[in-house]
Structure formats: structure tokens, C-alpha cells
Amino acid sequence: MGLFLSTALAVSAQPTVYIPTAADGATASSFIDGLCIGCSVTGTDDVVGRRQDAARLVVPVGVLSSAGIRVDLPASESANTRAGFVIDDPNGLLDVAVIDRVTVRTYLGATLQESRSGTSLLSLQLMASGLSKVTFRARKAYDAVEIEFDGAVALLTEIDVRYAIITRPTTLDRIVALESDGATASGSTSGLCLGCVVDDLSEAIDLPVATAANLRIPLGIAGSATLTVDYGTMLPAKAWTGFWVSSDADLLDLAVLGAIRVRALNGGDVVGEASGDDLRVTTRPDGLSFIRFRTNEAFDTVSIRISSLIGLSMNLNVHQTLTVPVETASGLDEAPLAAAPSSPARSVAEAGIQLGAPRPNPAAGLARVSLSTDAATQVRVAVYDALGREVAVLHDGTVDAGTRELTLDGTSLSPGTYVVRAASGAEAPQTRVLTIGR
């Protein structure tokens, strides 16, 4: 698999939302925990009835008790679905602080599977209707979901529970590693890496996407820096996994790819990895780049490592950790979560040009690269150094449909990392990383 550069990919699919109802076989029950004078639960059956109706949980201020509702589903739901409830404040808009008094749990039969509460573990999302959705991504299978509202020294004493909501990822859905879903991040350095830094780790597993973890290796230092993200759940095989990253420049310096390695792990064991020319890259106009590879086995952890390069310092910002469980990336939703949509990507076939991997690579002198086109077209193939300067032009003009060999004489070039780039008008450019050695 070669390096692939395109614009950001457009949204083409959304997760499937399931609302359990009595008509489907779902049932609702209520509970009050402890001796609670003034606590009440009304309209329990409305949670699995019509959406415009609601149950109401009332817990007076300062009471050390709680009230809740459990919805038993007609069938079990798998891990990686989002479980929760749509809620409302009968007296106005919900304040974010209410989430600190809400707990959402999942069960499999009578066995508690998972429990999330508070702003650090639950996701609170305001819907277009003015209602709010409080959910978390389940890491275990379940067949019941429960919401509990406890007493506290606060003005809010009651909430309305509209319905339970299950969000099932489609085969086109993104899986973003978020701390609120149980993901964790860690960093490490190796070698004689004085001044190497892996910091702001949590920024790689939270929102907004504008913030980022940072990996740095000073000029002249031999070593590596690694960021590791544990999703906290098993992810499927045959998925694209990687990171949204940026460099200090507006666009990711493609020469850096030769010093980047992305790995997938399962229980600490490496089950797949890619680096350099084996990484696929999608770059947005604002400079964010999704670097990834396709896994062959299931995994629960991914890591990104940068290594030192001769004559270059390394500085990489990691904005988001993302997995796309699909067969092909072209035309699917790979844009970072909360980022503005961009223009649709073009696949290699749609672009009409394809640049083969340089050979040999590394090269001590002559290097050859194949250029394929599906129709007669104007193509410019040029070579750039690590600073982005054009150092050679392999072709600039019209080519007929078919495949031809282009040759680079690298004897006059200094040892280092170079980028071969083929562009044809407004089509997505094709790029390859080439190392010149002696």
C-alpha cells in the first residue's frame, strides 16, 4: 500500500439510532433508593411509549437519596454502541452541572456491566429539539440501561426522562478515542533523548480537535518519542486506524513520514504496524493530516512514534485518535470529530494518476518510479527536499494513457529524505517518500 494524499473526506453515513419502545418489547421500571421523603417517579411507562411524553424524577434538594428508571431491551446490544437517555429540565434548559448528579448504567440480566457518572465520564449533548442526550460508549454487551438522579445542594430538583437511546455504529462510522469513553493515553521516550518531550497527552483523547498532544525531538538528538492510546475496548480487524496530526508548518512535511511509525496492539502484543511509504495520508486545507494504516487483526491500542532524522528536529502535534472500520476509505467519513466538513476526496482511480513506489529505496544513485494514467492528461512529477524546495523535475507535460518509467539521478543530491510528487491540475496529487543514501 503506498502513500495516498487527498483532501478531507466527506460524510456519507451516520450511525443508526435505536429507541426502545414497548411495541418492540422493551419494558421500563422505576426505583427510589433509600428513605426519601418527597422523592417520586411518575410516568415510567412513557419512557418506552410515545416520544412526546416523559417520565419525571423528583429528588428534593439536600436529600441523600436518588430516583431512577431502568429500561430492559428486547435484545442485547453489543459493545461499541452508545447507551443512554434523552432528558430535559421541565423548568428550562438543562445546565451542564446536572450531569454531575446523573449516573447511567448498563446491565446484562441482573449483572452490572458498566457505570458512568459525572462530566468526566458521561457525554452531555444538546439536541436540535432543545432536549439533551446523556450517553457513554459501552465496552461490554448489555440488555438493559438505567439512569439514576441523586439529591444534592443545587437548585435543580427534577428532570424529565424522555426515552432511552442506543446509537449503533454502522460499518461506515468513526470510532474516536475519547477519555469520556474510557480511553487512556501514555507517553514514553527512548535512546539518548535529552530534551525529548511527550506532553499534553490527554489532548489526543478529548475535544475540541484544535487542541493536541505534542511529540518533540531536538535537532541532533538520537532517540524516539511515542504516544500510546488505549481505547479501553476491542476494535475490529480490517479497519483504518491512526491519528489526526499536524506539524508546525501549515501542511504536514511529508518527509517526516519516514520517521513516523503507527502500530496497533492487542493486549500489549503488536498486531500490525506501518511507517513511511506504507502510511496512507489525508490532508485538509487547514493543515490537519490523518495518517493511518489498515489493520488485519482486532486491536485495543494504537501508538504513534517519531524518531530522530539527521539534520532535522521533529515536532508533531497529535490532535485526535481515530479508527474507521470500513473496507475502503475513499468517500467515507474520516474528518476529525467536530471539524467542519470539507470537499469530497477523490480515490486513486477517480484522480486518474497513480505514482508507484520508488525503487530501489533507499537509493545510492539512480531511482525509478512508475507513473500510470487512465487517459491522456497533463502531469507534472517533481522531487522536493525536506525543506520543501524543488530539486528535480522528472516530467512536466502531456502523457498518454498507460504506464511509464521515470528516472531520478540522485548522485547530485545530498543524502536525506525526499518527496516525489505527481500532480495533474485539480486532481488529488500522488506522493512517495524516497531516501537517498551513499
What are the pLDDT digits (tens) for 232-269?
Answer: 888 888 888 999 998 764 345 556 677 899 999 998 99
Mean pLDDT of 165-192: 78
| Helices within 10-83 (DSSP H only) | none
Hey, which bits of 251-389 come out as E strands?
Answer: 260-266, 269-275, 280-283, 289-294, 299-307, 314-324, 353-355, 366-373, 377-384
Residue 384's pLDDT band, with cuts at 50, 70 and 90, is: confident
pLDDT at 26: 94
pLDDT at 46: 93
pLDDT at 34: 76
Neighbour tally for 366: CB within 10 Å: 11
pLDDT at 4: 30
| Cβ proximity of 113 and 68 under 8 Å | no
Distance CA 195, CA 190 (A): 11
Identify the DSSP state of 60: -
Residue 103's pLDDT band, with cuts at 50, 70 and 90, is: very high
Mean pLDDT of 100-106: 90
Q: Confirm or reject CATH 2.60.120.260 for domain 16-170, answering yes or no.
A: yes
pLDDT of 436 above 50: yes
Instruction: Give me the count of residues in the chain.
Output: 438
Question: Taking the domains of the chain in order of start, what are their residue ranges?
Answer: 16-170, 176-324, 348-436
pLDDT of 347 above 60: no
Instruction: Write the class of the CATH domain 348-436.
Output: mainly beta
Q: Grid coordinates in use for 225?
A: 518519542
pLDDT at 387: 60
pLDDT at 251: 42
Amino acid at 25: G
Residue 28's pLDDT band, with cuts at 50, 70 and 90, is: very high
> Is there a common fold for 176-324 and 348-436?
no
C-alpha torsion sign, points 407, 410, 416, 421: negative
pLDDT at 388: 64
Identify the DSSP state of 33: E
pLDDT of 51 above 90: no
Global pTM value: 0.45
Mean pLDDT of 81-110: 84
pLDDT of 270 above 60: yes
**Distance of CA 10 to CAs 35, 211, 342, 378, Å?**
53, 22, 6, 27
| Cβ proximity of 131 and 88 under 8 Å | yes
For the ranges 3-12, 87-96, 296-305, which has the lowest average pLDDT? 3-12
Q: Confirm or reject CATH 1.10.10.10 for domain 176-324, answering yes or no.
A: no
Supply angle C-alpha 58, 60, 66, rounded to 5. Answer: 65
Mean pLDDT of 378-383: 88
